[in-house]
Structure 1
Amino acid sequence: MTELIEFETDRLYLRQWIEADRELFARLNADPRVMEFYPNVLDRTASDAMVDRVQAIIKERGWGLWAVELKPDKQFIGYVGLHVPKADLPCSPCVEIGWRLACEYWGKGYATEAARSVLKVGFDRLNLPEIVSFTATINRRSRAVMERLGMNLDAETFEHPIVPAGHILREHILYRLSREEWRSIPSSMP
């Protein structure tokens, strides 16, 4: 049986998904502010299907997109984790780091805090040689997280094959971080 990885940061638990997360995740996925840089919001059926896929991947691999919970009140706030994209991307095959948090938790450093721990798991426990992240070129908030993590911007943009041609979100940027680069980043980096 595959070991299911869970871990914590100073303020957060990154854990397996539980049934109670589904309603809050559906609310998050239906919020146009949260889904601004995705082609569309998700209804409850699509949101639950995503949870099912994420749980199956974690069960198979031991890792994936972890549910994120605040330590003090055990409130589910979204996900942060690692994913192997199926789309044919310029960096394929690759492991991507990504996040999606409810907007009331933005601006508090939770995405960066959780993502730093996810990078540590990816590089130290899973021995990944590189982790990438990508987003629509206009997504300044996620780009700022990628930069705070010490990830390096690729010079070229690319058209995401899943986003419809002509859509404002089709043009994407790609950030990369190798295990060697990650090990050279000071642990005190903001």
Structure 2
Amino acid sequence: MEPILELNSARLLMRQWRDDDLPAFAQMCADPQVMKYFPAPMSRLESAKLIGRIRGHFAEYGFGLWALERKDNGHFIGFTGLCVVGFDAHFTPSVEIGWRLAREHWGLGFASEAAWTALGCGFEHLDLDEIVSFTAVSNQASQKVMQAIGMHNDPDDGFDHPNLPDGHPLKAHVLYRINRQQWLATL
């Protein structure tokens, strides 16, 4: 399949990563508030490696986490997209929708807008039957985005993230899902 290199929403260009995204991305990933629901803030090198893994995902699957650029000013603000879940759980194999935005762009509806666009790509172009999303139980902001884009949570779907050690405060996760029929019903 030919990679899906670009998507557009009303206010955002969802595009491939450029080398000049690294400074803003590294700054975002070093922000303790942005990384509050991840194991730790990331160094510049860790951020660069993540961009490399994202590019590799696009090369392997034809889709991934698109860089988000505001159309009104051209600023890089984070990422949103789809990726194959990289660990074993009761809901895998599956494709996850995820996002991460710089703090100054929170609360403006960008995460929901980009996520909605990514869902459309997943169901219309990739012909997926279901898309999942998950986060730490305490991450209410991401759960609100999941709900805003029509995803549903079954409390029985909760799980402990296998990449976090026992006793870690972020180990308990919630799982949200949306299938093609649920997505079509929201149109």
TM range (shorter): over 0.9
* Structure with more helix by fraction: 2
In the aligned structure 2, how far is the partner of 1:155 from the partner of 1:171?
A: 12
* Per-residue deviation, 1:4: 3.4
In the aligned structure 2, how far is the partner of 1:5 from the partner of 1:122?
A: 13
Contact 1:2 / 1:59 at 8 angstroms: preserved in 2? no
In the aligned structure 1, how far is the partner of 2:131 from the partner of 2:3?
A: 21
Equivalent position of 2:103 in the other structure: 103
Percentage identity across paired residues of the two chains = 45
In the aligned structure 2, how far is the partner of 1:47 from the partner of 1:89?
A: 26
TM value normalised by structure 1: 0.95
Equivalent position of 1:166 in the other structure: 167
Alignment of 1:119-134 (within 5 A): 119-134=119-134
Alignment of 1:80-159 (within 5 A): 80-156=80-156, 157-159=158-160
Equivalent position of 2:184 in the other structure: 183
Map Cα deviations across residues 36-78 of structure 1 (whole Å, 9 max, x no partner). 0001111011110000010111123221000000001110000
Per mean C-alpha deviation after superposition, the further-off stretch among 4-13 and 117-126 is 4-13
AA aligned to 2:141 is R
Off by >6 Å, runs of 4+ in structure 1: none
* Per-residue deviation, 1:5: 3.0
Contact 2:5 / 2:63 at 8 angstroms: preserved in 1? yes
Equivalent position of 1:26 in the other structure: 26
Map Cα deviations across residues 72-126 of structure 1 (whole Å, 9 max, x no partner). 1110000000011111122110000000000000000000000000000000000
Per mean C-alpha deviation after superposition, the further-off stretch among 114-123 and 151-160 is 151-160
Question: How many correspondences in the alignment?
Answer: 186
AA aligned to 1:150 is G
Contact 2:81 / 2:97 at 8 angstroms: preserved in 1? yes
Classify the secondary structure of the residue corresponding to 2:155: coil
Long gaps (5+) in structure 2: none
In the aligned structure 1, how far is the partner of 2:61 from the partner of 2:173?
A: 27
In the aligned structure 2, how far is the partner of 1:4 from the partner of 1:149?
A: 21
Equivalent position of 2:70 in the other structure: 70
Contact 1:132 / 1:175 at 8 angstroms: preserved in 2? yes
User: How large is the RMSD of aligned CA atoms in angstroms?
Assistant: 1.0
TM value normalised by structure 2: 0.97
Contact 2:95 / 2:132 at 8 angstroms: preserved in 1? yes
Classify the secondary structure of the residue corresponding to 1:96: strand
AA aligned to 1:25 is F
AA aligned to 1:180 is Q
AA aligned to 1:90 is H
Contact 1:4 / 1:59 at 8 angstroms: preserved in 2? no
AA aligned to 1:5 is L
Contact 1:2 / 1:61 at 8 angstroms: preserved in 2? no
Classify the secondary structure of the residue corresponding to 2:87: coil
Equivalent position of 2:9 in the other structure: 9
